[in-house]
Amino acid sequence: MTIGLQDIAVGQRARVTGFARTEGGRAYRQKLLSMGLTPGVEFQVTRVAPMGDPVEISVRGFSLSLRKDEAATLLVELCGGQE
């Protein structure tokens, strides 16, 4: 099941499945791809700010903080049978 990054809880692992078509989505897509968030890559949500912006994830051995607009562009699925 494909969901948005904003629906992943801290500590959960997920896999990038694609990118949503949103306002400004093309620019965000290119930015996310250049940061290593390619389809199929797995990551873990490590922190979420109190108001939900930004979200910090651990991907490819480094920490990456994403703003809500950027995070909304990512389509993901939970890994390891987590629901």
Question: For position 24, what pLDDT does the model report?
Answer: 61
Question: For position 42, what pLDDT does the model report?
Answer: 94
The tokens 């896999």 sit on which residue? 15
Pick the CATH number of 3-78 from 2.30.30.90, 2.102.10.10, 1.20.1260.10, 1.10.150.120: 2.30.30.90
Report the predicted TM-score, pTM, of the whole model to 2 decimal places.
0.81
| 3-38 pLDDT, tens digit each | 888 888 899 999 999 888 766 667 788 888 888 889
Pull the structure tokens for residue 72: 């909304």
| 49-70 pLDDT, tens digit each | 888 788 999 999 999 998 888 8
CA–CA gap between residue 63 and residue 18 (Å, rounded) = 20
Flag the least confident range among 16-25, 39-48, 72-81: 16-25
Which residue from 39, 54, 36, 56 is spatially nearest to 2, judged by alpha carbons? 39
The dihedral over CA atoms of 13, 18, 22, 23, expressed in degrees to the nearest 10, equals: 100
Pull the structure tokens for residue 24: 């400004």
